[in-house]
Structure 1
């Protein structure tokens, strides 16, 4: 049987980046840590680390072990919390995965209604690549995945797509940059400095199609998987950047930028993906009801938006 104490030492070494740092963190000697690691590797019959110069790197087996160790100790922490606080067990757990291409402010606006239910709800939210989140949905580790595209059939994961809404795309920039390119929108965007979301996101796909169809060829300054980082570069005046129109006003307020105009033919769709064809979980039902009843129906193609708003980066 696996020695969980030794696994815990391995996990700390992997997370800390070395035996010495793990020993300091655990208040043990490096020799103790090294000895326990050696025993774990012997018991498993494989090496978990390889030495590269003065550094330790995970082997393929070590990487696999770390993934499962993360899950084991996360469950352990949740169990400890439940046992130390029995009242937590009375809360309605709502486990959600958010695909990393979905802007954080969109995710917040979609999930917020779940916390307004009469019963106490404990929201557990994870952000990751879609393939990993869909895998966790398949083994019932998640109740819902918020995504910017439907569940791909080729993954072989059973699930149902519930469209929450659609949004056009609006362009934002700091006022001096916006003033330079606004008068001849959208054709004047050719040659303009652009900051784009990463490949594989729905926003990037919709925008690329619109640019090609409109024969607009911007000068791409940077591409970002992290939408918050993209906005930070936009706030610094380094380029024009696209956002879903449903949050364009909010982004303008938060980042001190101006909206140039809207690409109404570039449409981004958002989905709630579940294993239920008919939604039953109260929090999931609340998310879909709120999205259908207000968030996406209030979209307005903003232009020259510069009012104040609450700060919600992402």
Structure 2
């Protein structure tokens, strides 16, 4: 089993650039530090340093171990700070990753219960591609990731998917564009300009299947990874765009559009992905318990 005291001595020597300097900073004898590093190398079965003249330099494996050690002790310092902050009544960080395919308004709806907690929290939101956010979740740089799909089975990340809810999908257009359409919904979509979510959005394939099932062939004039950008194009009249009906009223008010109709059988779901099955972070528990369709976590993946 890894001895974290030995790892800390290795980390100190690597950061200081040598045993002598690390000894001066820590007050420990050089022989003690050297012995601890030798013990760690024996445990790991590899050499972490090599001699280069009078200096010690990291081996390739040593560099890898240093990267892990940096992350381990960064998290340790963060844990200590979080505990002290809680005891002192200071705000604690709540670090959320939001997949870029999740509509901003939906993200707010899902996170609002955490903002209403009496405990002092400071929410830190990061938006990016799902795979990048899951990588940060795996090394505990994030507390939770909001996504439109559960944890992909091909990801090298062990985690759990907690379903927060789902919504039917509506089609929206400016009044001017809606006035040019012929027939009732959904036939009015046939031949009409349509904006679609990008290939990574989980709702894209069900939408295309729904259109095919109804024998509707719109003109796809744009595809967008960012749902906000898609709505901006829709607001400008570039095309009809789909969005969850859960935020339909807000979309109509904000973007000056109206709902043409709903694809009732197309559901867009939303998930909180965590590295723990039983949620412990108070803010994550809040958004899970307040979710409109909460349930048991999916089985671990990874």
CA contact (8 A) 2:191 2:219 kept: yes
Provide the residue aligned with 2:187 in structure 1: 187
| Structure 2 match to 1:102 | 102
> 1:227 deviation in Å?
1.1
Report the TM-score, using the length of structure 2 for normalisation: 0.67
Q: Spell out the pairing of 1:61-210 with structure 2 (5 A cutoff).
A: 90-181=90-181, 183-210=183-210
**Contact 1:166/1:269 (8 A) holds in 2:** yes
**In structure 1, what is the Cα distance between the partners aligned to 2:251 and 2:280?**
33
Q: Residues 280 and 176 of structure 1: is their aligned pair in 2 closer, same or farther, counting only changes over 3 Å?
A: same
**Unaligned segments of structure 1, at least 5 residues:** 4-43, 45-67, 295-314
Task: Measure, in 2, the Cα distance between the counterparts of 1:201 and 1:236.
Answer: 22
Structure with max Cα Rg: 2
Kindly report the root-mean-square deviation, in angstroms, between the aligned alpha carbons of the 2 structures.
3.1
> Which residue matches 1:266?
266
Q: Which residue does 1:292 correspond to in 2?
A: 292
Q: Secondary structure at the match of 1:169?
A: strand
Give the deviation of 1:178 after TM superposition.
1.5
Give 3-state SS (helix, strand or coil) of 1:114's partner. helix
Going by fraction, where is helix more abundant, 1 or 2? 1
Q: Which residue of 2 aligns with 1:221?
A: 221
User: Residue 293 of structure 1: CA displacement?
Assistant: 7.2
SS at match of 2:262: strand
Aligned-residue offset at 1:290? 2.0
SS in 2 for 1:252: helix
**Quick check: 1:161–1:271 contact (8 Å CA) kept in 2?**
yes
* Alignment length (residue pairs): 226
Q: Supply the distance in 1 between the matched residues of 2:293 and 2:226 (Cα, whole angstroms).
A: 29
* Deviation, structure 1 residue 126: 0.6
Q: Deviations over 1:40-79 (max 9, x none)?
A: xxxx9xxxxxxxxxxxxxxxxxxxxxxx9xx99xx9xx99
Distance 1:169 1:288 in 2: 22
Which residue pairs with 2:279 in the alignment?
Answer: 279
CA distance in 1, matches of 2:202, 2:248: 17
Distance in 2 of aligned mates of 1:211 and 1:181: 16
For 1:154, what is the secondary structure of its paired residue?
Answer: coil
